[in-house]
């Protein structure tokens, strides 16, 4: 993006070069007009005035300063008592500046606003703007062409000169001058001089306007780009916060299962120890289960941290059947507390896959606990089936339950993070499971079983295929 300061330098250089060329052309034009009018001694003064005014206009690039130079030069060169500059901006005419001779000094006012019949001869200004031809009147209030103009009837000026300001084919504005005392104040030579001044001023004003528009566009673009950068930064922060929130929810959800296993096993161990006599072997088994569950919680946290760092997954060759049997053992105590029986099918063999053992066990445990919890309302026959089989080039793992099933209207949302149908659920289990299976190159689906219940299925690429 070109900075506004650089644009100012480039504009000033180009403006000066174009003004030098324009000045020479305008001097030549004025000489021709002055000769045609037989101006005599006024010619040299006019040429000097054109050169002086052209240089003054070329030295400034602010519209306010350019308008002041134009009005002062016009009043001085024409001997006018007052004048005004009406400019066309975005299709709307407005009185941009006015000047008046007061006690021998020219006072310029720049208070942009709409021009009305109380301020200027509106019909005359519009006629000059429409025809793009100047109008000079030696005795304006007696002119039949504009006898009905409210301003001319009210103010009764004598000499009036109204000139269009054009740059090439573009109408920039209209210059209006009047002398209330002298009839025929604007001679042919003065008109020729003022036409040259008006043409040079139109060039300078339009160039300055285009420059200001360019600078404003660049500033607007800079503001837009800054707003975009700020919005992207806010979005990035929001994304990080959202990701952090999902990570926290994931850890809470996933660590909750082994912690629940620790709690259940600890209660069971105390129960075995409180027997008379105490059953040491069963209590020892529960304590061993507590240790396994604690180790599993540490593994889940390690896995979640690695995922948050976007670390590459550490896949290894593993026996999926063995991992599934281990996962079923980890939830055995919790399933027993929920009075749910678990049947294993096809897990006696060896099915090798590549993946993360802890993450795949997370998926199975989530599916088993979801299935168990879906059957909480059943009085009897709370049964889960965990099965593993080979289908062509994939290993297929299924979990069947006899629960309440899946409502069709929410089936498409079950994998969304934080979406849940459970009163105490977090809506993270299936979302996490889906992302794990997807990272392993597999697919997780949920479907209604014939009769009652739900079948959760996930597939993994079979090793060697």
Q: List pLDDT tens digits, range 259-301.
A: 777 777 888 888 888 888 888 888 888 888 788 777 777 776 7
pLDDT in tens, 119-159: 899 999 999 999 999 999 998 877 888 888 889 888 888 89
Q: How many CB atoms lie within 10 A of CB 214?
A: 15
- Can you give the length of the chain in residues? 465
When pLDDT is cut at 50, 70 and 90, the band that residue 309 belongs to is: low
Order of strands across the sheet with 454-461? 341-345, 383-391, 394-400, 454-461, 443-448
Q: How many CB atoms lie within 10 A of CB 181?
A: 10
Residue 86 within any structural domain of the chain:
yes
What is the pLDDT at residue 411?
52
When pLDDT is cut at 50, 70 and 90, the band that residue 84 belongs to is: very high
Same domain, 29 and 177: yes
Contact between 428 and 253 (Cβ < 8 Å): yes
Distance CA(256)–CA(425), nearest Å, equals 11
Residue 95 within any structural domain of the chain:
yes
Q: Is residue 409 pLDDT above 70, yes or no?
A: no
Distance CA(125)–CA(143), nearest Å, equals 15
Contact between 108 and 71 (Cβ < 8 Å): yes
For residues 39-60, give the mean pLDDT.
61
Q: Is residue 7 pLDDT above 70, yes or no?
A: no
Q: Is residue 387 pLDDT above 90, yes or no?
A: yes
Domain CATH for 161 = 3.30.450.40
What is the pLDDT at residue 419?
46
Q: Is residue 420 pLDDT above 60, yes or no?
A: no
Residue 236 within any structural domain of the chain:
no
Domain count, the chain: 2
What is the pLDDT at residue 3?
53
Residue 260 within any structural domain of the chain:
no
Contact between 353 and 460 (Cβ < 8 Å): yes
Residue 306 within any structural domain of the chain:
no
Strand 383-391 and strand 352-355: the pairing is unpaired
- Of residues 375 and 450, the one with the higher pLDDT is 375
Name the domain boundary from 155, 184, 219: 219
**343-361 burial string, b = 16+ CB within 10 Å, else e?**
eeebbeeebebebbbbbbb
For residues 321-346, give the mean pLDDT.
88
Mean pLDDT lowest among 59-63, 177-181, 245-249, 377-381: 245-249
Residue 290 within any structural domain of the chain:
no
Name the domain boundary from 189, 219, 249: 219
What is the pLDDT at residue 175?
93
Kindly state the percentage of the chain with pLDDT values over 90: 18
When pLDDT is cut at 50, 70 and 90, the band that residue 59 belongs to is: low
Name the domain boundary from 166, 184, 219: 219
Same domain, 319 and 426: yes
Both tokens of residue 120?
């200027």
What is the pLDDT at residue 417?
52
Same domain, 34 and 157: yes
Strand 341-345 and strand 383-391: the pairing is parallel
Residue 110 within any structural domain of the chain:
yes
Distance CA(430)–CA(60), nearest Å, equals 70
Which of 83, 108, 53 has its CA nearest to residue 159? 83
341: containing domain: 315-461
- Of residues 303 and 356, the one with the higher pLDDT is 356
Q: Is residue 426 pLDDT above 50, yes or no?
A: no
Both tokens of residue 391?
């289908």
- Of residues 1 and 414, the one with the higher pLDDT is 414
For residues 340-347, give the mean pLDDT.
91
- What predicted TM-score, i.e. pTM, was given to this entire model? 0.46
Same domain, 59 and 167: yes
Same domain, 324 and 447: yes
When pLDDT is cut at 50, 70 and 90, the band that residue 54 belongs to is: low
Q: Is residue 1 pLDDT above 50, yes or no?
A: no
Residue 433 within any structural domain of the chain:
yes
Same domain, 150 and 20: yes
What is the pLDDT at residue 322?
92
Domain CATH for 374 = 3.30.565.10
What's the chain's average pLDDT? Answer: 78
Q: Is residue 392 pLDDT above 50, yes or no?
A: yes
């Amino acid at each position: 993006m070109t900075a506004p300061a650089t644009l100012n330098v480039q504009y000033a250089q180009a403006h000066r070069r174009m003004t030098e060329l324009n000045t020479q052309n305008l001097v030549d034009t004025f000489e021709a007009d002055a000769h045609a009018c037989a101006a005599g001694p006024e010619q040299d003064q006019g040429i000097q005035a054109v050169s002086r005014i052209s240089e003054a206009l070329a030295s400034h690039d602010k519209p306010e300063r350019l308008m002041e130079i134009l009005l002062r030069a016009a009043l001085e060169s024409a001997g006018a008592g007052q004048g005004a500059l009406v400019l066309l901006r975005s299709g709307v005419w407005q009185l941009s500046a006015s000047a008046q001779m007061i006690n021998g000094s020219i006072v310029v006012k720049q208070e942009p606003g709409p021009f009305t019949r109380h301020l200027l001869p509106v019909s005359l200004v519009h006629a000059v703007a429409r025809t793009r031809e100047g109008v000079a009147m030696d005795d304006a209030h007696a002119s039949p062409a504009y006898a009905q103009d409210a301003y001319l009837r009210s103010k009764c000026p004598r000499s009036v000169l109204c000139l269009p300001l054009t740059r090439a084919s573009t109408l920039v504005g209209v210059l209006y001058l009047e002398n209330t005392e002298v009839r025929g104040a604007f001679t042919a030579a003065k008109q020729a001089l003022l036409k040259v001044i008006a043409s040079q001023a139109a060039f300078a004003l339009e160039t300055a306007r285009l420059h200001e528009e360019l600078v404003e566009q660049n500033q607007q673009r800079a503001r837009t780009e800054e707003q975009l950068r700020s919005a992207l930064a806010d979005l990035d922060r929001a994304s990080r916060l959202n990701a952090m929130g999902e990570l926290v929810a994931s850890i809470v959800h996933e660590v909750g299962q082994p912690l629940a296993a620790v709690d259940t096993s600890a209660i069971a161990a105390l129960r075995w120890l409180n027997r008379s006599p105490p059953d040491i072997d069963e209590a020892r088994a529960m304590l061993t289960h507590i240790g396994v569950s604690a180790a599993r919680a540490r593994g889940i946290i390690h896995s979640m941290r690695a995922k948050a760092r976007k670390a590459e997954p550490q896949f290894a060759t593993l026996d999926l059947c063995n991992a599934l049997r281990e996962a079923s053992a980890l939830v055995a105590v919790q399933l027993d507390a929920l009075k749910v029986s678990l049947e294993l099918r096809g897990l006696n063999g060896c099915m090798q896959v590549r993946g993360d053992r802890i993450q795949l066990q997370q998926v199975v445990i989530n599916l088993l606990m979801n299935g168990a919890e879906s059957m909480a309302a059943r009085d009897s026959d709370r049964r889960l089936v965990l099965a593993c089989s080979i289908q062509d080039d994939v290993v297929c793992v299924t979990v069947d339950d006899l629960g309440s099933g899946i409502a069709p209207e929410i089936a498409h949302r079950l994998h969304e993070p934080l979406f849940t149908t459970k009163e105490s659920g977090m809506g993270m289990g299936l979302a996490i499971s889906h992302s794990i299976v997807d990272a392993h190159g597999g697919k997780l689906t949920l479907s209604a079983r014939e009769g009652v219940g739900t079948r959760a299925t996930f597939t993994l690429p079979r090793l060697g295929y």
